[in-house]
Amino acid sequence: MHLTIEQLDNQAKDILANFDNNTISIKERASIPLQEMPAQDPLERINNMEEVALGYTKNQVKAEAMRCLQCKNKPCIQGCPVGIDIPAFIKKAAEGDFAGANATIKESSLLPSICGRVCPQENQCQYYCTVGKMKKDVGQSVAIGRIERFVADYSRENNQDITPSVKPQTNKKVAIVGTGPASVAAAADVRREGHSVVMFEALHKAGGVLVYGIPEFRLPKKLVQKELDGLVDMGIEINRNFLVGKTRTLEDLMKKDNFDAVFIGAGAGLPKFLNIPGENLIGVFSANEYLTRSNLMKAYDQKNSLTPLFPSEKVAVFGGGNVAMDAARTAKRLGAKEVSIVYRRSEAELPARKEEVEHAKEEGINFMLLHQPHEIVGDEKGFVKGVKVVTCELGEPDASGRRRPVEIEGSEQVVDFDTVVVSIGNASNPLLKQTTEGLDVNKRGNIIVNEETCETSIKGVFAGGDIVLGAATVILAMGQGRKAAKAINEYLK
């Protein structure tokens, strides 16, 4: 059973009463227990779209920050793709200087309230944390992401956030394709140098996956909007409903519209399918479409949204990654009675974050592990009525290091479902490649760039984020956006 926010706050108060941050020893720091994240009750939250994790209280954040040993060699920093000075910001948080902590983070990362929420910290900064290593459990590492989230939220809510300054206007213009985290980071850093920046977004809302993919209950959209408003305040123009490659080609932007440089941050938005029979039946969705309907088109808000909801009772979600967890948890909130993750390996191999799996379980999502879908079965009207699955067992590890699923002969069965959400990954959209002469891509369709500068095979055209890395993470996309912006600013000198 989860403790209430008051109970958790009281526990933190006791810790603060027992230890003085100025005199506490390393041994005492290591004795402070991990501060639990207050969360909405599972039975309540499956009936709403509100954020699940409620955020630390002031006392909790101070108590958690006191767990940091201020290691001299700062191992945690090597796990952060943008190199945030983690011990420095945590020290300020422990002292109660939350705005100062936020300012330290902002020297390296533009979107701390977003990264603090969605970074897979246990594989990144927290993976390297000495406290986790000492306790032989990465789950016991200092909760770097939660502290980051708190100080960013606090600074924003108390008008102590930092607006980046912009140098005097140059006569250079830069086009940014896409408005996801790679593009946001690139746009801000290019604009800071005084260049004009215009962003082009295919959808009617800016923000990329942060807006159309990651559900409201993990990342409130008002936070993303606030960051985009900040870009507009810096003088950046955002053009929506503008598909580069259709509305205008990349060449048009360079040659006819006189942009001096272009950054492509078009993401990896092309869903993959299993290519099994039945994937064109009514009631089969890609996770992208399913989540876009709910997040971007607000299908969950049936009173105010025109987007229709597909009536689902029993939903199968194919895949075991974070996107699959998001789709399954969304299906539950959209009213499905039973939702099952269908995954061909065991729980140990699930690629989703542990926290997301735990949250999904708490919300009553079933896990049909070691099952491989073979066919989606339809009724006479073309609607989904079930999924033919085969049971698997684990064999030898494959190239990914995970044990390979081996199908068990004769184990085939049809399980009743009326909706299937396919969530087995995304690839790059080929539109820009098809409409841009000389743009080199690899065999997966990802744009090939110079690793140091993010420049593509076309002079003056740079790229970063998922369109280069394949489906990756928010912070990696941002890191690439910053790297490309640095090179663009050099290029325009």
Per CB under 6 A, residues contacting ligand SF4 are 68-71, 74-76, 80, 84, 86-87, 90, 109, 115-116, 119, 121, 124-125, 129-131, 142, 144-145, 148, 475
Nearer to ligand FAD, 59 or 183 (CB): 183
Structure tokens at 204: 């009617």
Nearer to ligand SF4, 120 or 319 (CB): 120
Tell me which of ligand FAD, ligand SF4, none is bound by residue 390, counting a contact when its beta carbon lies within the kind-specific cut-off of 5 to 8 angstroms: none
Binding mask 160-199 for ligand FAD (x = CB under 6 A): -----------------xxxxxxx----------------
Among 94, 266, 370, 449, binds ligand FAD (CB under 6 A): 266
User: 243: alpha, beta or left, given left = phi > 0 and alpha = psi -120 to 50?
Assistant: beta
Q: Are 423 and 360 in contact (CB under 8 A)?
A: no
Nearer to ligand SF4, 83 or 308 (CB): 83
CA-based max dimension of the chain:
74
CB of 465 to ligand FAD, least distance (A): 2
Distance, in Å, from the CA atom of 341 to the CA atom of 369, rounded to the nearest integer, reads 8
Distance, in Å, from the CA atom of 302 to the CA atom of 299, rounded to the nearest integer, reads 6
Query: Which letter does DSSP use for residue 204 in this model?
Result: S
Distance, in Å, from the CA atom of 465 to the CA atom of 264, rounded to the nearest integer, reads 9
CB of 403 to ligand FAD, least distance (A): 25
Q: Binding to ligand FAD (CB under 6 A): which residues in 141-160?
A: none
CB of 314 to ligand FAD, least distance (A): 22
Nearer to ligand SF4, 53 or 431 (CB): 53
Q: How many CA atoms lie within 13 A of 255 on its CB side?
A: 6
Tell me the three state secondary structure of residue 388: strand
Q: Binding to ligand FAD (CB under 6 A): which residues in 454-473?
A: 465-467, 471-473
How many other C-beta atoms lie within 10 A of the C-beta of residue 391? 18
Q: How far is CA 149 from CA 111, 263, 308, 340, 427, in A?
A: 10, 28, 34, 31, 30
Contacts of 313 (CB under 8 A, 6+ apart): 336, 337, 338, 418
**Angle at Cα 418 formed by Cα 416 and Cα 419, nearest 5°?**
120
CB of 388 to ligand FAD, least distance (A): 27
Tell me which of ligand SF4, ligand FAD, none is bound by residue 70, counting a contact when its beta carbon lies within the kind-specific cut-off of 5 to 8 angstroms: ligand SF4
Strand 237-239 and strand 426-427: the pairing is unpaired
Backbone angles phi, psi at 476, to 5 degrees: -65, -40
**Angle at Cα 428 formed by Cα 427 and Cα 430, nearest 5°?**
125
CB of 187 to ligand FAD, least distance (A): 11
How many other C-beta atoms lie within 10 A of the C-beta of residue 159? 7
Nearer to ligand SF4, 66 or 458 (CB): 66
Asked if 429 touches ligand FAD (CB under 6 A), the answer is yes
Backbone angles phi, psi at 284, to 5 degrees: -105, 125
Distance, in Å, from the CA atom of 118 to the CA atom of 490, rounded to the nearest integer, reads 31
CB of 75 to ligand SF4, least distance (A): 5
Among 431, 453, 457, 491, binds ligand FAD (CB under 6 A): 431
CB of 84 to ligand FAD, least distance (A): 15
CB of 480 to ligand FAD, least distance (A): 8
Tell me which of ligand SF4, ligand FAD, none is bound by residue 465, counting a contact when its beta carbon lies within the kind-specific cut-off of 5 to 8 angstroms: ligand FAD
Binding mask 388-417 for ligand FAD (x = CB under 6 A): ------------------------------
Among 79, 116, 132, 269, binds ligand FAD (CB under 6 A): 269
CB of 69 to ligand SF4, least distance (A): 4
Backbone angles phi, psi at 136, to 5 degrees: 55, 35
Number of residues that bind ligand FAD (CB under 6 A): 41
Q: Are 417 and 387 in contact (CB under 8 A)?
A: yes
CB of 267 to ligand FAD, least distance (A): 2
Query: Binding residues for ligand FAD, per CB under 6 A?
Result: 118-120, 177-183, 200-203, 208-209, 213-214, 243-245, 265-267, 269, 291, 322-323, 326, 429, 431-432, 465-467, 471-475, 477
